[in-house]
Amino acid sequence: MSQQGGRPTGHDDDWWGQLYDDSTGDAGPAPTADSLEDRFASAAETVNSAGPGEGEHPSPGPRPEEWWATGPQEPSPFADPPPAAEPAVVPRPAPPPRVGSGPPTYDAEPTALPAADPEGLDDLVADTVLDGARYGTCTLRAASVRGDSARYRGEPRRDAMLTARFGAGDQALVLVAMATGARTTPGAHRAAAEACRWIGQAVGRSHVRLAQDIRAARRGDLKSGLHRLTDRSLGRLRAAAAERGLRAEEYAAGLRCLLLPADPECRTRIFFGVGPGGLFRLRDGRWQDIEPAVGEVAGEAVVGFGSPRAATPPAPGTPGTAGATGAPGVPGVPTAPETAESPPPPYEPFRFRASVARPGDTLLMCTAGLAEPLRDEPALPAHLVERWSEPAPPGLAAFLADTQIRVKGYADDRTAAAVWEA
């Protein structure tokens, strides 16, 4: 090619003329569709027909016709979305097992919460309390559960429970206390909580001497000392009733306690208390009802705070004596009003038992809400024998489930503490 206006240089410019010469006809459109696949097929055919030259490497064979379709396919943005998956159905938890002749009256789960006072939120009581520990040779499980009836009616749990350790090491002493407030009386749950708190304070202040007496097996000293501590604790309930303008029976509670020394060399277990409930022992696959009978109790009934101890129980209503939880006539202790319609509350015997545990034993202390069906429905203790005969004690969740085994006709609060001996 020459400069503009220059002369042709010869054959070097032939290619330019061939390209732009009008005599060269246009090839025109291809007779078939000119797609990417067609171009690839044409190129492959040309290469294969020529064959490899000298020193050239043979070309690979043709790729599969649909080699590009073998990889993952991207979804089209215009495609219809897949149908939405149905929401997973979460199964409801199975109700606690039941024993007996028929299904219980109330639902297995809580229905209504107790009414709350915005100025008294500290007075609220949880539906369920669960605790546990292991000291020495024993493993403790404890639970307190609102009854089916109270759950349905929106009433607070009348049972209270306290678990506490006083001291450290082998000298420590573990206390389990449970109390039940009077039925159908306002503030029954407060009375039960105060009874547990006051006996806890009394035992805590005397835990060193109590632990020594337990290890030395001083049964007489233990019985009189614990009787006196229970006396004072329940006597304070009667004083509190008087301060609130209530009768003694309107602010009262039954109290049951268990003392467990942490010393692994001491297997003595101490039970004491006042009021209904149960004390059972599972030994060699059989339940034993070891609740101290009233006839087995030596000494007077529980008297009030500061009352002198007498050789024989005085008659109810005698001036200067006390009922189950108080001490009318004792100086310094307020007295609840007594009328002809409200006789003094009856005496409640003090119950005490010291027992030596064996390896494999299970000791069960409970309130009346569990003790009554254990005594009346044979299927319940049989079920617990099956559950608690394993070498290892149950975990907290399993123990809670065991205490909630339902029996038709028994819908009260349940509080239980069980001790497994290694």
pLDDT tens, position by position, 375-412: 999 999 999 999 999 989 999 999 999 999 999 999 99
Using pLDDT thresholds of 50, 70 and 90, give the confidence band for residue 293: confident
pLDDT higher than threshold 50 for residue 337:
no
Phi, psi (deg, nearest 5) at residue 71: -85, 180
pLDDT higher than threshold 60 for residue 318:
no
pLDDT, tens only, 158-173: 999 999 999 999 999 9
pLDDT higher than threshold 60 for residue 344:
no
pLDDT higher than threshold 70 for residue 11:
no
CB–CB of 412/147 below 8 Å? yes
pLDDT, tens only, 223-242: 999 999 999 999 999 999 99
pLDDT higher than threshold 70 for residue 47:
no
CB–CB of 322/303 below 8 Å? yes
Using pLDDT thresholds of 50, 70 and 90, give the confidence band for residue 185: confident
pLDDT, tens only, 112-147: 999 999 999 999 999 999 999 999 999 999 999 999
Lowest mean pLDDT among 213-217, 255-259, 280-284, 332-336: 332-336
pLDDT value at residue 327: 35
Q: Per DSSP, what are the bridge partners of residue 180?
A: 159, 254
Using pLDDT thresholds of 50, 70 and 90, give the confidence band for residue 109: very high
Region 8-28 average pLDDT: 57
pLDDT higher than threshold 80 for residue 182:
yes
pLDDT higher than threshold 70 for residue 364:
yes
- What is the overall mean pLDDT for the chain? 80
Region 53-66 average pLDDT: 53
CA-only gyration radius of the chain, Å: 44
CB–CB of 241/326 below 8 Å? yes
H or E segment and range at residue 45: helix 36-50
**Cβ contacts of 328-331, under 8 Å, gap ≥ 24:** 328/304, 330/304, 330/305, 330/306
Using pLDDT thresholds of 50, 70 and 90, give the confidence band for residue 102: confident
Question: Residue 162: what residue type?
Answer: L
Task: Give the span between the Cα atoms of 32 and 64, in whole angstroms.
Answer: 22
Residue with the bigger pLDDT between 85 and 154: it is: 154
pLDDT higher than threshold 50 for residue 333:
no
pLDDT value at residue 97: 85
Residue with the bigger pLDDT between 52 and 110: it is: 110
Region 320-331 average pLDDT: 35
Statement: the pTM of the whole predicted model exceeds 0.75: no
pLDDT value at residue 171: 95
Sequence-separated (6 or more) residues with CB below 8 Å from residue 358? 267, 283, 421
pLDDT higher than threshold 60 for residue 329:
no
H or E segment and range at residue 197: helix 188-205
Question: Residue 224: what residue type?
Answer: S
In terms of C-beta density within 10 A (0-12 exposed, 13-18 middle, 19 or more buried), how is residue 369 classed? buried
Q: How many CB atoms neighbour CB 22 within 10 A?
A: 5
Question: Residue 330: what residue type?
Answer: V
